[in-house]
A = this chain, B = another copy of it.
Amino acid sequence: MRFHGFFRSGAAWRCRIAFALKGVSPEFVPVHLRRGGGEQKAPAYKALAPQGLVPALEVDGHVLTQSLAIIEWLEETIPEPALLPKDAFARAEVRAFALVISADVHPLNNLRVLNYLKDPLGHDQATVDAWYRHWCEAGLAALEVIAARAAGRGRFTFGDTPGLADVCLVPQMGAARRFGTDTRVYPRLTAIEAACDELAAFVEARPDRQPDAEA
Contact = CB atoms under 8 A, between A and B. Distances in A.
Given A62-B89, A72-B91, A95-B66, A102 B100 contact: no
Contacts of A116: 131, 134
Of A70, A134, A142, A145, which is in contact with the most chain B CB atoms at under 10 Å from its CB?
A142
This chain: copies in complex: 2
Interface string A42-82: 00000000111100000010101110111011001100000
B89 A69 contact: no
A123 interface: yes
Interface stretch (A20-28, A103-111, A153-161, A197-205): A103-111
Contacts of A121: 121, 123, 127, 131
A108 B113 contact: yes
A92 interface: yes
Nearest to A90: B62
A104 B51 contact: yes
Task: Decide if the interface of chain A is mainly helix, strand, loop or mixed.
Answer: helix
Of A52, A113, A139, A143, which is in contact with the most chain B CB atoms at under 10 Å from its CB?
A113
A136 to B, nearest CB: 13
Contact of A99 (B60, B68, B96): B68
Given A95-B69, A123-B121, A50 B146 contact: yes
A215 interface: no
Contact of A73 (B76, B89, B106): B89
21 contacts: A50-B143, A60-B89, A62-B89, A62-B93, A64-B93, A64-B96, A66-B103, A68-B95, A69-B93, A69-B95, A69-B96, A70-B92, A73-B91, A73-B92, A76-B88, A102-B103, A104-B110, A116-B134, A121-B123, A121-B127, A121-B131
